[in-house]
Structure 1
Amino acid sequence: MMTSLLDLKPQLSSVGRSYIQSTPEMSNIGLLEGDWVWLKKVTDGQKVTAVNQSTRSVFSSYREMRHENLNLYVGLFLDAGIFATVTEHCPRGSLADILEDGSMRLDWMFKSSLLMDLIKGMKYLHMNRLSHGRLKSRNCMVDGRFVLKVSDYGLPMILHSQNLHPVEEPHDLLWTAPELLREPVRGGTIPADVFSFAIIIQEVILRTPPYAMMDMPAHEILQRLKAPPPLCRPVICVDEAPAECLSLMTSCWTEDPDQRPTFHDIYKQFRGINRGKKANIIDSMLRMLEQYSSNLEDLIRERTDELEIERTKTDKLISQLLPKSVAQSLKKGKAVTPEHYADSTLYFSDIVGFTTISALSEPIEVVDLLNDLYTMFDAIIASHDVYKVETIGDAYMVASGVPTRNGQRHAAEVSNMSLDILHAIGAFKIKHMPEIKVKIRIGLHSGPVVAGVVGLTMPRYCLFGDTVTTASHLEASGLPYRIHISLCTMKILTSLKLGYKMEKRKSQVKGAEDTFWLAGRDGFTKPLPVPPDLAGG
């Protein structure tokens, strides 16, 4: 068969190298019926005018070879005196190209995959009683799927039939078995292919050219190979590859051809080195992807759990700053409409003499004082159905019935909380002033309020209405260690019949509404600090 490839692409450079000389300025890549092919050009200084019948016959036998690890012959090329074999184009180039590419990481899985492909290709050739003749890393081509394919098999016989005898340089013979260096055999021998394979193993393991560690010119190495002793072989450290692989390599380049293993034996031994695992890069990549996918699922599950924990923390923090219903609306980007609450009770308290304490303290000590005090208050209100509205300086504001409506319980919840706070404040000590007692005033009032969110940056949940003003006034006009409640709150507590102890405060303003002191509750046995007005101080 003879094919003329006229649609050559001279702008494309060669993807591989050959021991056969080629014209540098001409491309080795062409198109045949839409598929890229590789041209291996042959020259021995004379032009080829025709392809003889013997060449056609020899080439036809090789063209019929079919195996996934053989780079199949497509045809012969003859044009303008240029003769070339045409094979499938392998875009990754040759094995030598890959080994020389320092940017490509090759682990043992990758290397063993390439070697196994080479073994299977050579095993197929030898099963058909065909030797390669010039096996080397330069004619082991790698396709786009990183499958190695043996190329140029039988090429010496094709060239001989065409009466072409290209001259080979010494460095092109470094893969040749010693017995062929002494007495060349046309087309090579099967044991000689095994020797060439051993040299390729050295290249793959070390990623260096043959005999590179000897630092000798090629012609001297060839001379030593021809005339032992001593034997001239590459030197490889034992930690460069699995011991079984090094042992296999050594047995393949033994001096006696009859002692070298066959590729059938090599195939079985190499499978043992890989412990029966498939040494195919695509299969290995798929296994790695499956493992990665499994690991990724675990990682996603782990990260999702972590995200859920962080989301819970965030929601908890937001719920401490804003009511839950308000926070949900803001997170969804919805506007929060002000809401009217007809029944609620408000709590206000502040520290008596706070200005004096601040003047006698360092700023950081004031911050510590307020943090300790209100942390204690926060722990107390957690056990009551109340909502902490805000703290401003030494002022502390709490509401019940807002934002969660709880019927008439709001007054009882705030009153119970106030008694607990008053009990706790009696034992509270200032760290930097342990001798000074912290005294607070508390004011309670019940009534309607309007609640809404104010601001977009650092939004605040605020309460508005006369109830807020009245409760604040009750606190301001109260006395230390006293819970000052309004007439409205007193009536609600009385209606609940829970045994609250309330005393009418003597009004100092004629015509003003009566107010009361909340002094305790039936069943409340915690000691309360004695107000200074009752202690005579």
Structure 2
Amino acid sequence: ELGCAVLGPTCTFATYTILSTPIISAGSFGLSCDYTVNLQRLLPPARKVSDFVINFWEKEDNFKPQWKSAYIVILKELKHSDGNFNETQRIELNALQQIDYYNLTKFYGTVKFDQGVFGVFEYGERGSLRYVLNDKVSYPEETFMDWEFKISVMYDIAKGMSYLHASDIQVHGRLKSTNCVMDNRMVVKITDFGCNTFLSPGRDLWIAPEHLRQEGTSQKGDVYSFAIIAHEIVLRKSTFYTERCSDRAEKLSKVITSYFRPDLNLDTASEKELEVYMLIKSCWDEDPEKRPDFKKVENLLGKIISKIHNQDNESYMDNMIRRLQMYSRNLEHLVEERTVLYKAERDRADHLNFMLLPRPVVKSLKETGLVEPELYEEVTIYFSDIVGFTTLCQYSTPMEVVDMLKDIYEGFDSIVDHHDVYKVETIGDAYMVASGLPNRNGNRHAVDICRMALDILAFMGTFQLRHLPGIPVWIRIGVHSGPCAAGVVGIKMPRYCLFGDTVNTASRMESTGHPLRIHVSQPTIDILQRTDCKFEYEMRGETYLKGKGTETTYWLTGETGEDYDLPTPPTAENFQRLQQDLAQMILACLERRLRGSVRRRKPLSSQSKEGDEDRVSEVESEGGPPEYLHLATVDNTLSTFL
């Protein structure tokens, strides 16, 4: 979080005696070591520090130091200090620098930046012990972190604390699972010791009761902290876990005012667990004098480990091989599990991509990143839109319009899935579908589009608006066949688009059609006649298409041997009258819906109801639906019959 410094023999910013090897911290920026005070060298994040180190030494320049080894370190802020250490602080830092033990993190010195003064410490690659205990996927309970491994973790902590108590530092004061880190070899190293003039003990669940009541540090207080950590290791649950209480502040209060400890069930413990449980219980005794010192804890844990090895009759080499085999099996299981998750996620992503773009296009984009535009000699294109959509929107809220289109298009999409067609796009109330691309299918493109159009028309014959029951929803459909070019357009939000005169003609076929009619061009009829399918159609005659002139067109009415239950299309006269009266019909429907909701909310007396029924009948007689529409009420739901 705080940055990264390149320190070496030529660096002017180090405030301690430079070691014989350079130090590179795991941060995001660093001061240069070329005597240029204001120059900064940008460094990559911690995961790429190793790459930086390699490239740094391969680069030739006159300012590069002459050593070629590097360590990743961590910087910790030394609060309440400006770098001008007093006598007490210098003695403390010198004592800290003298500590060099396998289970204690190495302190290299201090460094001063604009942000403050920082201590430079050895870095634990696997993170804190608390993090490892929480990660039950990478470190599973029975295979990797078994009982012997848990004992060895406690043993590492006990050895480190035993050495620390015997040193000039004498006491830790801040021992907790987050201050124990693991290196790449799963060795536990204690950190954050010393620096008592810079860091305060705080009030955590690891602090001994006597020091919660009266601030201070002691060796027996460290033993209590070890007991809480050992409890975390054994159960692999939250710090100070107890079923009786989960609130941190409440736990601290109970520890201060009474004898309150985490859950540790001695009755159900096995023989090998009982010995460790008794050790933990003695370490968190309320009386500090009754707690064992770390030398005794270290010896007891060492005996437990030896006993485990003797019972198993295996040497250290056998134990190591067994652990490697367990780790290998667990790794295989983990890889298999992650592979299954990866494949499931990949399939979900592919499914989503296939909903947005054609399958061959997605495959080409994934393999090469490019999609070459392609010319198709013959495809069939379908267009449809909603008649009177503008009027419907005028008397509907935006959410009602969204719900209306959602209901309609969900029905269309379910029909599309049953045919060899590709949904190109929807623009407002317009719905565009094509067949014969991106996969060519001979003459089947015209057959599939026509069958799909008949299914959609049958669906619209039974469709009802949720917010305007009884109001007819009619669509126009246009179909045309011909050559077409297709390709992906755009980098952001790419779309598979169709280009060519065939697209324009199909759109003209739709716009010049009639409600509840499938308007088909001559080229499409010619293709249908080349197939074995028996479609039924009737000639409309000569139709003027903008930009094309006069063309012979047809109405598709069905397929021999198939019952599509198509709605009866209105006559030209009725359609013109519907367009004129649609707004009045919507207003009457809204008025009836409003009156119905008021009637349901407020029951009226019988006399009032009779008066209302008279008024309703008057309204329906004066402003009811036109004579060419018969509105029948069935179970309080208005249904439209043409």
TM-score (norm 2): 0.44
CA distance in 2, matches of 1:408, 1:359: 42
2:152 match = 109
Asked if residue 92 in structure 1 is aligned to residue 135 in structure 2, the reply is no
CA distance in 2, matches of 1:472, 1:94: 78
Q: Which one of 551, 555, 558 corresponds to residue 513 of structure 1?
A: 551
Which one scores higher on RCO, CA 8 angstroms, separation ≥ 6?
Answer: 1
For 1:524, the aligned partner's letter is: E
1:318 match = 353
For 2:309, the aligned partner's letter is: K
Q: Which one of 559, 563, 570 corresponds to residue 532 of structure 1?
A: 570
CA distance in 2, matches of 1:204, 1:281: 31
For 2:425, the aligned partner's letter is: E
For 1:376, the aligned partner's letter is: G
Question: Structure 1 residues 278, 332: CA separation in 2 closer, same or farther (over 3 Å shift)?
Answer: farther
2:471 match = 436
Q: Secondary structure at the match of 1:414?
A: helix
CA distance in 2, matches of 1:508, 1:94: 91
Q: Secondary structure at the match of 1:513?
A: strand
CA distance in 2, matches of 1:207, 1:343: 79
CA distance in 1, matches of 2:490, 2:300: 78
Q: Point out where structure 2 has 5 or more consecutive residues left out of the alignment.
A: 1-16, 19-97, 107-123, 131-149, 160-164, 168-182, 189-219, 227-259, 265-275, 283-298, 576-642
2:247 match = none
2:308 match = 276
Alignment of 1:282-301 (within 5 A): 294-301=329-336
CA distance in 1, matches of 2:317, 2:223: 20
Alignment of 1:155-170 (within 5 A): none
Give, in angstroms, the shift of residue 287 of structure 1.
7.1
Give, in angstroms, the shift of residue 497 of structure 1.
3.1
Asked if residue 496 in structure 1 is aligned to residue 527 in structure 2, the reply is no
1:464 match = 499
Q: Secondary structure at the match of 1:373?
A: helix
Q: Secondary structure at the match of 1:407?
A: coil
Q: Is the 8 A contact 2:422 2:435 kept in 1?
A: yes
Q: For structure 1, which segment, 104-113 or 483-492, has the greater mean C-alpha deviation from structure 2 after superposition?
A: 104-113
Q: Which one of 396, 401, 413 corresponds to residue 378 of structure 1?
A: 413
Question: Structure 1 residues 530, 274: CA separation in 2 closer, same or farther (over 3 Å shift)?
Answer: farther
Question: Structure 1 residues 478, 439: CA separation in 2 closer, same or farther (over 3 Å shift)?
Answer: same
For residues 351-387 of structure 1, the C-alpha deviation after alignment (integer angstroms, 9 at most, x for no partner) is 0000100111111111111111111101101010001
Question: Structure 1 residues 113, 509: CA separation in 2 closer, same or farther (over 3 Å shift)?
Answer: closer
What value does the CA root-mean-square deviation take over the aligned residues? 5.3
Alignment of 1:136-215 (within 5 A): none
1:133 match = none
Asked if residue 476 in structure 1 is aligned to residue 511 in structure 2, the reply is yes
Q: Is the 8 A contact 1:350 1:394 kept in 2?
A: yes
Considering only CA atoms, is the larger Rg found in Structure 1 or Structure 2? Answer: 1
Question: Structure 1 residues 112, 400: CA separation in 2 closer, same or farther (over 3 Å shift)?
Answer: closer
Q: For structure 1, which segment, 103-112 or 435-444, has the greater mean C-alpha deviation from structure 2 after superposition?
A: 103-112
CA distance in 1, matches of 2:525, 2:453: 14
Q: Which one of 425, 446, 451 corresponds to residue 411 of structure 1?
A: 446
1:397 match = 432
CA distance in 2, matches of 1:509, 1:137: 103
For residues 70-107 of structure 1, the C-alpha deviation after alignment (integer angstroms, 9 at most, x for no partner) is xxxxxxxxxxxxxxxxxxx9952899x9xxxxx99897
Q: Secondary structure at the match of 1:332?
A: helix
2:337 match = 302
1:169 match = none
Q: Secondary structure at the match of 1:492?
A: helix
For residues 10-45 of structure 1, the C-alpha deviation after alignment (integer angstroms, 9 at most, x for no partner) is x99xxxxxxxxxxxxxxxxxxxxxxxxxxxxxxxxx
Give, in angstroms, the shift of residue 289 of structure 1.
7.1
CA distance in 2, matches of 1:238, 1:512: 93
Give, in angstroms, the shift of residue 446 of structure 1.
0.8
Question: Structure 1 residues 277, 112: CA separation in 2 closer, same or farther (over 3 Å shift)?
Answer: farther
CA distance in 2, matches of 1:346, 1:112: 75
CA distance in 2, matches of 1:534, 1:238: 88
Q: Secondary structure at the match of 2:433?
A: strand
For 1:398, the aligned partner's letter is: V
Q: Which one of 388, 407, 411 corresponds to residue 353 of structure 1?
A: 388
Q: Is the 8 A contact 1:369 1:431 kept in 2?
A: yes
CA distance in 1, matches of 2:395, 2:367: 47
Question: Structure 1 residues 286, 364: CA separation in 2 closer, same or farther (over 3 Å shift)?
Answer: farther
Asked if residue 331 in structure 1 is aligned to residue 369 in structure 2, the reply is no
Q: Point out where structure 1 has 5 or more consecutive residues left out of the alignment.
A: 1-10, 13-88, 98-102, 117-135, 139-143, 148-201, 209-236, 248-266
TM-score (norm 1): 0.52
For 2:308, the aligned partner's letter is: G
Q: For structure 1, which segment, 410-419 or 498-507, has the greater mean C-alpha deviation from structure 2 after superposition?
A: 498-507
Q: Is the 8 A contact 2:558 2:564 kept in 1?
A: no
